[in-house]
Chain A
Amino acid sequence: MPSKVEGWKDEVYGTEIRDHLLQFAEAGWSSIPEDERDAWFERFKWWGLYHQRKGQESYFMMRIGTPNGRLTPEQLRVVGEIAKEYATGPVENPEFGDAYCDWTTRQSIQLHWIQLQDIPDIFEKLEAHDLSTIQACGDSWRNIVGSPVAGRDADEHLNAWPVIQELHEEFKGNDDFSNLPRKWKVSVTGDTRGSGQGDINDLAFEPAVKEIDGEEVKGFNTLVGGGLSRKEERFARDIDVFARPENVADVSAGISALFRDHGDREDRFNARIKFLVDEWGPEKLRSVLQEEYMEYELPTAGENLREQYNYNAGKADEPGDYIGVHEQNDGQYFVGLSVLVGRQSADDVIELADLAEAYGSEMIGLTQRQNLIVADIAEDDLDDFLDEPLLETYSPDPHPFMRGSIACTGTEYCSLSIVETKNRMVRYARWLKENVAVPGGVEDFHIHLSGCTASCAQPQIADISLRGMKTRKDGEPVEAFDIGLGGGLGENPQFADWVEMRVAADEVPGYIDNLLRVYESEREERVVPEEQRGRDGEAVERESFREFIARHEDDELTGMAEPEETSYEDPYLGNTKMTWYPYAEDTEMDAAPTPADD
């Protein structure tokens, strides 16, 4: 029997939700019939609106999908202005104030405390600047991810941006694909870095070359069924299909139609295509795709470029992100800026937009590491740009713990999360920076903190993975984390090994400190012969943290370091989920604001 959500979707779904949404916005919050609220909130997701958690009734999170994470400075300014005007809540966040933007791991934008009556104005402002919330959530094509610097990156196989634009145009607002069994996450990567992180997407196109009719053709290999949620992590599987850039839309249509028709609509926990790939295997999926959905003979896969991947790959000698100054293929530069946990105040967003425009930038990029890129800086302007005061906060050369820290939304707003996340990760990163010696040679260390098994902060693919948990301390329930080690992508992707379970949140920084001491003292090093030294002239080659973890068996990793209380203080150790808002003066549910209306 189809799930209840499927029943709601059968009644109203897709583009038609918008008219209802705008009518409700016009008539006010109380116009949504009480006995229809769950159904409408489920549907509103399709237009990028997620009703916030209990205690925050009538407030919404709004997600804006930016394909490939690309914005113009003007678009960035509009987002900042909308955040400043509309994303203000009843209580300030102690770290970030009262109006801010979240840059997400899927290169989208999230704003909080949005009220129903403001949505028409916000939509109008967004759409006047070619921005939209369409399909940012819900059961359909989500924001398409990839490299924001496609077409500019010197390390590029082919420019995937035109392909992503085509997919965005084709599959947003397309009634044939608007009601899928579950979310549909797509990645298209044309660079040699692996920055699209295709391995963890439902559908991924990764750079490849194939000889066809004696000619070497640049295109993509096709992978299906990746994802991280619910302790059911899967890497996307190679279905042995090569797609020329001009064929990607056809292959995408075929696979997403296959998912639409064959995905599980009875059990939402079994609905993602990763489970269909588990059940069928890649060979059957390919044959059904070929026989039922394609009008031409699909070529077999080409030769991939994975051995060159370095994005979030845990390499010792190459950065795994876009932070820093990089030369573009046109002689200009793009500069990657660190945004700790991906949250930036609206004022800073507007200031950055002005700055980018003043320097002639035509593109701002949101990365899957929750950071920002400002592109198109002329070589002559580079020093001045790097000296701008705003870059002291959003640094192109950050401390490794500030650089590599990612966090999801957490109990501040999210119904699923078990623990507080962003403010805690900020406090962790600051404490680590001030108290922990970074092992020599480590410039880029990835800590991903996720509030629950939904894995929005991609915890399984980090040097240190933190996943929200509970434990008891002195008999009282406290927020805690399961700790995993050694995950990452690259040529040979690897999920983290979960080695320490239910560590109280205030003992995690001490654990990381102890673990890094072990790593520094026990990692392997070798002297590099002079003739083999790279451009950096490094005389010693050190084992990366990920390599160090991979060298050890699970039972060696468990207990390798001890969790420990330190000078780190955790103000969120109690049950933040029981509050209406964790940072309010009076956090009791009874103190929650009454629903805003009309």
Chain B
Amino acid sequence: MPTSVHQLDDGAWLSVNDAREVNVSDLWWLARHDFCSCEMADFLAEGFVEIGVDHPNVEGRIAGQCIDCGESGVTDWLTLGRVVDPDSGRFYAVDTTSVHVPERRRRLARPPE
């Protein structure tokens, strides 16, 4: 079954299969990022700007700010969770209190082949 993903209520929610799964207002630790100059950004999620899928992951770019340095902006792609079994559509959200690595920075950090 296809998985439906989108942001809801002016970016307040990530919705997966019409269930509100990931909310704004949480703090996310971001590592290996270029959001701000902090080594670890203490990022307050204020609104989902874009939602995408990189099977099986559901990803999003989030507007917010680092509460350590005050830098505001939009993150690169962050994994928000994954749909392990598309048939059941069950979504497993990431733990926002753990450490997250935005996608573009991770690619750049890979050693050249």
Contact = CB atoms under 8 A, between A and B. Distances in A.
Contact of A34 (B9, B10, B11, B18): B18
A4 B6 contact: yes
B86 interface: no
A17 interface: no
Interface in B1-27: 4, 6, 8-13, 15, 17-20, 23-27
A418 B67 contact: no
A577 B6 contact: no
Contact of A415 (B13, B26, B27): B13
A268 interface: yes
Interface stretch (A213-221, A355-363, A464-472, A516-524): A464-472
Interface stretch (B40-48, B75-83, B99-107): B40-48
A37 interface: yes
B24 A470 contact: no
A470 B25 contact: yes
Contact of A471 (B6, B17, B67, B72): B67
B49 interface: yes
Contacts of B56: none
A181 to B, nearest CB: 14
B10 A454 contact: yes
A135 B25 CA distance: 28
Contact of A417 (B4, B25, B49): B25
Interface residues of A, number: 32
Interface string B19-60: 110011111000000000000001010110100000000000
A415 B67 contact: no
Contact of A469 (B8, B12, B49, B67): B67
A9 to B, nearest CB: 14
A35 B17 contact: yes
A211 B13 CA distance: 52
A471 B25 CA distance: 11
Nearest to B68: A472
Contacts of B44: 418, 469-470
Contacts, number: 69
Interface residues of B, number: 26
Interface in A464-500: 469-472, 477, 480
A269 interface: yes
Given A35-B18, A38-B15, A577 B23 contact: yes
A35 B15 CA distance: 11
Nearest to A37: B18
Contact of B27 (A230, A453, A470): A470
A415 B23 contact: yes
A390 to B, nearest CB: 37
Contacts of A53: 20
Contacts of A268: 10
A36 interface: yes
B10 A416 contact: yes
Contacts of B10: 268, 416, 454
Given A416-B10, A418-B44, A54 B20 contact: yes
A230 B18 CA distance: 25
B27 A477 contact: yes
A546 B49 CA distance: 35
B1 to A, nearest CB: 9
Contacts of A37: 18
Contacts of B20: 53-54, 415
A290 to B, nearest CB: 33
Nearest to B43: A470
A470 B72 contact: no
A31 to B, nearest CB: 14
A231 interface: yes
Contacts of A42: 8
7 contacts: A34-B18, A37-B18, A38-B6, A41-B8, A416-B24, A470-B25, A472-B42
Interface of A: 4, 34-38, 41-42, 53-54, 230-231, 268-269, 411, 415-418, 452-454, 469-472, 477, 480, 501-502, 575, 577
| A-B CB proximity, top 4 nearest | A415-B12, A418-B25, A577-B25, A37-B18
Interface of B: 4, 6, 8-13, 15, 17-20, 23-27, 42, 44, 46-47, 49, 67, 70, 72
